[in-house]
Amino acid sequence: MTAARRQLLALTFISLLTAAGCTNPMTRSGDRKTALSDSAESSDSSIRQASSSTKLPMTFLDSDHLQYGTGPMDDSPSEKFEMTASGLRYRILRQSQGRKPTARDSVTVNYRGWLDSGREFDSSYDRGQPISFALNGVIKGWTEGMQLIGEGGMIELWVPARLGYGTEGSGSSVPPNATLHFIVELIRVD
Q: Which candidate in 60, 125, 133, 182 is catalytic?
A: 182
Q: Which candidate in 121, 125, 149, 155 is catalytic?
A: 121
The question of whether 182 is a catalytic residue gets the answer yes
The question of whether 14 is a catalytic residue gets the answer no
The question of whether 139 is a catalytic residue gets the answer yes
Q: Which candidate in 13, 60, 90, 122 is catalytic?
A: 122
Q: Which candidate in 139, 149, 183, 187 is catalytic?
A: 139
Scored b (16 or more CB within 10 A) or e, 13-47 reads bbebbbbbbbeeeebbeeeeebebeeebbeebeeb
Q: Which candidate in 13, 60, 90, 111 is catalytic?
A: 111
d(CA 155, CA 180): 14
The question of whether 122 is a catalytic residue gets the answer yes
List residues with catalytic annotation. Answer: 111, 121-122, 139, 165, 182
